[in-house]
Structure 1
Amino acid sequence: MNKYLLSMQIIQSIREKTDTAVLYYSAGGKDSIALLDMLAGMFNKVICYYMYLIPNLDHVQPYIKWAETKYNNVEIRQIKHFQRDYYDACGFFREPNISIKPRKIGEIEQAVREETGISYAFSGMKGVDGYMKRMRLKKFAKSSYITDKGMVYPLALWTNKEVLQYIRLRGLIQPFVYDPGAISQGFTIDLKTMLMMRNKYPHDFKRILEEFPYSEKLIFDYEYKHRK
């Protein structure tokens, strides 16, 4: 069985249990784009949860609008990423706030289940995205990549090249690339992202500095080094 058919078989097994899908949608990530397309054609409704580090960034909005415009059965809900809790509590490029109790990913998943009433949720996680993800997915191979907590990983065996090929063949929106040399993409607070935002998305760059004021030192150190 090829990977696409296996993925659709996994999705169909959940469709037989519910007519509504929940998807953790990264808004710009290739895996989310491809998986949303698969889900939207099979379920009556798809509820996407986009977890943000900083809300309402300009470069993310096209992917939010695209999903809602492309599919008339898709709803986007936005929640704060659990990683932001750790950043704020520990003082990641900002003053620490020790009063914050960081949420765990399992707590967020449980809250989503309670909010939607849906026991299952989809994620575009793939084994090629890193060693830890590969080991996690390997544990669920015998259960069709469905965990006992209801997380579903239909793209577990796909490669990045295969996902991009699916996106091209289906004429979907192109993924956002933060770092051309990275295996996995995603918004984070690092030098490459900061430089890109400063050059192409100045409003987003301003938002980063507002939320993480000490991150400007990344730019300062970079420019100081290259002045020598």
Structure 2
Amino acid sequence: MTASRTRLVGRALGVVRPILVDKVERDHQQSDRAFRYRRVVVAVTLVVGATLLGLSFATEQGDPVFYALTLGLAATWTVGSLVSGPLHLGHIEILGARRRPVVTPILVGLALAAVFVVGALVMREIPPLAAFAESVLGYARQGNLPLLLVITLVNGIAEELFFRGALFAAIGRKRPVLISTVLYALATVAGGNPVLVFAAAVLGVVVGLQRRAGGGVLAPILTHITWSMTMLLVLPQIFPGS
């Protein structure tokens, strides 16, 4: 039994290490001038994006303005990222071969979603926490689901382009996972919901580790959109609503 558990743990680590731990060699050096420029663009984008996020959650649920603001938010993250400087997709090494991360990040997103589903089952039994969750889910219940799916997809991609792309690169080599996660969570504070802040912090750690390991945004994007799309479809079924 012990040997079986050891093999199981070894296999699990073999899957996790390439996507979250082992750093792939890369050469993404920037000149000092380009680095300073990126930091300025990132700072401006962060302020504008956080403002739009706060405004979007200040709208009435079901208000068409919400869609315009969230699409504007995605455009802000995307434009800021692309203007700041070059971004990279990244690689992982599996069985000695370097390849683009595709399947593994999706599995990580599903696993993370499963953890959040378990957490949601606990939260719904705690009225104050359930109320915070309901305040967010109301946008899903009273909105256009196909449009919300598109917005969730687009914003997930845009957030990773910025936070694990441009912002991560603007931080430098000292604690980029921690700093990018803290800034991601702080930007979410503008939404006024502690549940969203907590979710951003947890997600930020996972995708931040992916960014550090693979050197690019592809893995974080795939994990983020897998997680967020699953949450959008599953959470309204867990919470009863008003």
Class of the TM-score when normalised by the shorter of the 2 chains: under 0.3
TM-score by length of 2: 0.22
Q: Which has the larger share of strand?
A: 1
Q: Which has the larger share of helix?
A: 2
Q: Which has the higher contact order (CA 8 A, sep 6+)?
A: 2
TM-score by length of 1: 0.23
